Chain A
Amino acid sequence: METLGNLAFGLGVALTWQNLIYCFVGCFLGTLVGVLPGIGPVATVAMLLPFTFNLGPAPALIMLAGIYYGAQYGGSTTAILVNIPGESSSVVTTLDGHQMARKGRAGPALGIAAIGSFIAGCIATLVVAYFAPPLAELALKFGPAEYFSLMVFGLIAAVVLARGSVLKAIAMVCFGILLGLVGTDVNSGTIRFAFGQPELTDGIGFVALAMAFFGITDVVVNLEHTDKTDVYGERLGSVLPSWQDFRICFWSIARGTGLGAILGILPGGGALLASFAAYMFEKKIAKPPRQFGEGDIRGVAAPESANNAGAQTSFIPMLTLGIPSNPTMALMIGALMIQGIAPGPQVMTERPELFWGLVASMWVGNLMLLVLNLPLIGLWVKLLAVPYRLLFPAIFVFCCIGVFTVDNKIFDIYVLAGLSAVAYVLLKLDCEPAPLILGFILGPMMEEQMRRAMMINFGDVTIFLTRPLSAAFLIAAAGMMLLIALPSLRAKREVALQE
């Protein structure tokens, strides 16, 4: 009952005309940019960040969340129509979605993606509303040792569940932590790693870092391959799936939602893992074994529902623990800090309008996406035809303006250029950028918690293992590392994440 009361309170915040407009603008802009080929949700959120600077914290967060779902949905549209996943979580959507488009059923594919996402979004909103408060309450009892170990656990989980070499990913986390430490040390006032540059005393700009790794380098790599793509949008067909389609999909959507909601809560899970797992699961249990990979509508419905549910529940660790589970959530935390709010369990009690307003706006945002996307699909299809040679200079402009407006510092633009060079080299060496971003956000927090833990316990390092909860986190982290080292499981993970 209390939850319903809170949700009603949240709806009160989300349904003010001002917040409704921000939510709408966020969804619209997010979809608009997300549809453009070669721009993923992280770059979309980063580029649109300046639009939120002049808003209050609640409208800013609501708009960013809208941008995130919008970008997510836009990514599915490109996956279905051009066979290019706008982002990694819609990779599996290309398998059946694009086949449907080739058979002239692009319309129903886009329709079921929107409807599935909406249903999943509604249910995931309830999950967030019910699960976040107890988790935050638990987190409030955490001491510094627990917090430190939780962050270690979160980072390891994020790394294990992500793509690529685990060793390299952990190394990237460390590199991220070190970059995060640049600037003034809050405890002693010492300026670290600034090379005498006064502009670096506040640290490396987070937006510049995210843009370098997810915006600029993506453009550069896209420019290196000039593949021609075919848009299958001429014959959309009816956007509304038939009753028959919907009946086939109903349980796929339900299962996708369930899987997505659970996997989204895990650190590192989020939308990507959710969509893969949901697709694999549907393929396994499909009875009669229909034509997965040849345009089965369930192969679109399940992963699309799952990735939306996962996208939404991944807000839980971000809102309750202040720990981002993926780069987009790291950006959200960055945005909160720009607004002057320290993320963590206290947000829910100190700024209830922020938390419940956001939760309620998730539901409103999903409704808007549905209303927005079904009639506007024709417009999105036209956008897909914009040639990349016109698009990429615009991306440069928005990245540069976005980076500058965070602090109005010209220096940040040069930081963007420098980090882009580093990001480019690392990309060529197959080092994934996502762990670096997470390390960058969590690094300073980890240092702070470790210092506090050491201060309280007179420098006794064993405290991390003698406090039960802290030990549990560390053991879980170690267990995951061991599991991943086992050859049989490693092979399975590679198969599951490769596809």
Chain B
Amino acid sequence: MRIRSPKDFWSGLFFIAVAAGFIALSHRYGTGTMHRMGPGLFPILVSVLLAGLGLIIAARAFVIDGPPVPRFHARPIIVSLIAIALFGVALAHFGLIAAVAAVVLVGALASRESRPLETAGLVVVLILFSATVFVWLLGLPIPLWPEA
């Protein structure tokens, strides 16, 4: 047996794993009866369907040919995720100005083409823009500075 369609194989496994997780959790919530469906029943029904589909998708990967899984480029995705998470941390503790600076400065590293001076300029522009538009013009309740 050889996996002929790796993309399908891994997606199938992914779906099975998700379904298994949801089934395991759903049992705790109580299934009730068909007449009075409990909070766990509908998720279980959907999960069983998902698991079945996952199984077919994964099994089919041994029969039909498909393209290989494309390369994962580590830098863009990991840097982007870190930048977004940092936005959250910075916003919680230091306000919007710091958060924008953090996500732009770190996020720019996701591309090899970013240039330090340009990025610095971009930070200033985006801080001015978000402060003016979101906080001042639209009046959204976002703290600009660290809350004392």
The secondary structure that dominates the B interface is helix
**B115 and A188 within 8 A (CB):** no
Residues of the B chain whose Cβ atoms lie less than 8 Å from the Cβ of A389 = 108, 111, 113-115, 118
- Contacts known (A168-B57, A224-B73, A455-B35); A178 close to B107, Cβ less than 8 A: no
**B126 and A192 within 8 A (CB):** no
Contacts A188-B39, A421-B81 known; list 12 others, CB within 8 Å: A54-B138, A171-B15, A178-B22, A178-B46, A389-B108, A392-B107, A393-B107, A394-B126, A400-B91, A410-B91, A414-B88, A460-B34
The secondary structure that dominates the A interface is helix
Give the complex CA separation of A416 and B100 in angstroms.
Answer: 16
B77: interface (CB < 8 Å): yes
- Contacts known (A175-B18, A389-B114, A401-B134); A170 close to B53, Cβ less than 8 A: yes
Closest Cβ–Cβ distance, residue A50 to chain B (whole Å) = 6
Closest Cβ–Cβ distance, residue A331 to chain B (whole Å) = 19
- Contacts known (A226-B113, A447-B42); A167 close to B80, Cβ less than 8 A: no
Give the complex CA separation of A414 and B92 in angstroms.
Answer: 12
Q: How large is the interface on A (under 10, 10 to 19, 20 to 34, 35 or more residues)?
A: 35 or more
Instruction: Give the most central of B35, B46, B107, B141: most A CB within 10 Å.
Output: B46
Residues of the B chain whose Cβ atoms lie less than 8 Å from the Cβ of A388 = 111, 113
Question: What 1/0 flags go to A436-472 for Cβ under 8 Å of B?
Answer: 0000000100110011001100111100000000000
Instruction: Give the most central of A401, A414, A451, A458: most B CB within 10 Å.
Output: A401
**B103 and A400 within 8 A (CB):** yes
B3: interface (CB < 8 Å): no
- Contacts known (A51-B138, A459-B34); A171 close to B50, Cβ less than 8 A: yes
A405: interface (CB < 8 Å): yes
Residues of the A chain whose Cβ atoms lie less than 8 Å from the Cβ of B67 = 430
**6 closest Cβ pairs, A-B complex:** A459-B34, A459-B35, A413-B88, A174-B50, A223-B76, A190-B39
Residues of the B chain whose Cβ atoms lie less than 8 Å from the Cβ of A142 = none
Residues of the A chain whose Cβ atoms lie less than 8 Å from the Cβ of B144 = none
Residues of the A chain whose Cβ atoms lie less than 8 Å from the Cβ of B126 = 393-394, 397
Give the complex CA separation of A129 and B119 in angstroms.
Answer: 49
Residues of the A chain whose Cβ atoms lie less than 8 Å from the Cβ of B114 = 389, 393
Question: What 1/0 flags go to B131-143 for Cβ under 8 Å of A?
Answer: 0001000111110
**A219 and B80 within 8 A (CB):** yes
Instruction: Give the most central of B11, B73, B108, B110: most A CB within 10 Å.
Output: B11
- What are 30 A-B residue pairs whose CB atoms fall within 8 Å in the complex? A51-B138, A167-B56, A167-B60, A170-B53, A177-B46, A178-B18, A178-B50, A181-B42, A188-B39, A190-B39, A192-B25, A219-B76, A224-B76, A226-B111, A388-B113, A389-B111, A389-B113, A393-B104, A393-B114, A394-B126, A397-B87, A405-B134, A413-B85, A420-B77, A421-B77, A426-B11, A428-B70, A429-B11, A429-B14, A459-B34
A238: interface (CB < 8 Å): no
- Contacts known (A177-B46, A389-B111, A420-B84); A193 close to B91, Cβ less than 8 A: no
What number of A-B contacts does a CB cutoff of 8 Å give?
198
Residues of the B chain whose Cβ atoms lie less than 8 Å from the Cβ of A425 = 14
**B43 and A192 within 8 A (CB):** yes
- Contacts known (A450-B42, A455-B36); A171 close to B11, Cβ less than 8 A: yes
Residues of the A chain whose Cβ atoms lie less than 8 Å from the Cβ of B40 = 192
Residues of the B chain whose Cβ atoms lie less than 8 Å from the Cβ of A459 = 33-36
Residues of the B chain whose Cβ atoms lie less than 8 Å from the Cβ of A54 = 138-140
A53: interface (CB < 8 Å): yes
Closest Cβ–Cβ distance, residue A159 to chain B (whole Å) = 12
- Contacts known (A174-B49, A188-B38, A396-B107); A168 close to B11, Cβ less than 8 A: yes
Question: What 1/0 flags go to B65-104 for Cβ under 8 Å of A?
Answer: 0010110110011001101110110011000100110011
Partner of B81, one of A175, A408, A420: A420
Partner of B140, one of A50, A416, A417, A431: A50
Give the complex CA separation of A224 and B74 in angstroms.
Answer: 9
| CB-nearest residue of chain A to B137 | A51
Chain A residues 181-234 with CB under 8 Å of chain B are 181, 185, 187-188, 190, 192-193, 216, 219-220, 223-224, 226
| CB-nearest residue of chain B to A411 | B88
A9: interface (CB < 8 Å): no
A281: interface (CB < 8 Å): no
Instruction: Give the most central of A53, A165, A413, A425: most B CB within 10 Å.
Output: A413
A153: interface (CB < 8 Å): no
Give the complex CA separation of A343 and B126 in angstroms.
Answer: 35
A404: interface (CB < 8 Å): yes
**A416 and B110 within 8 A (CB):** no
Give the complex CA separation of A458 and B54 in angstroms.
Answer: 32
Residues of the B chain whose Cβ atoms lie less than 8 Å from the Cβ of A285 = none
**B140 and A410 within 8 A (CB):** no
**A174 and B140 within 8 A (CB):** no
Give the complex CA separation of A461 and B92 in angstroms.
Answer: 49
**B50 and A431 within 8 A (CB):** no
| CB-nearest residue of chain B to A188 | B39
Closest Cβ–Cβ distance, residue A222 to chain B (whole Å) = 9
Closest Cβ–Cβ distance, residue B83 to chain A (whole Å) = 6
**B85 and A414 within 8 A (CB):** yes
**B39 and A192 within 8 A (CB):** yes
Give the complex CA separation of A148 and B69 in angstroms.
Answer: 36
Residues of the A chain whose Cβ atoms lie less than 8 Å from the Cβ of B11 = 168, 171, 426, 429-431
A379: interface (CB < 8 Å): no
**B140 and A405 within 8 A (CB):** yes
Partner of A220, one of B39, B57, B110: B110
- Contacts known (A188-B38, A220-B77, A396-B107); A167 close to B57, Cβ less than 8 A: yes
**A417 and B103 within 8 A (CB):** no
Residues of the A chain whose Cβ atoms lie less than 8 Å from the Cβ of B142 = 401, 404-405, 408
**A429 and B92 within 8 A (CB):** no
| CB-nearest residue of chain B to A174 | B50
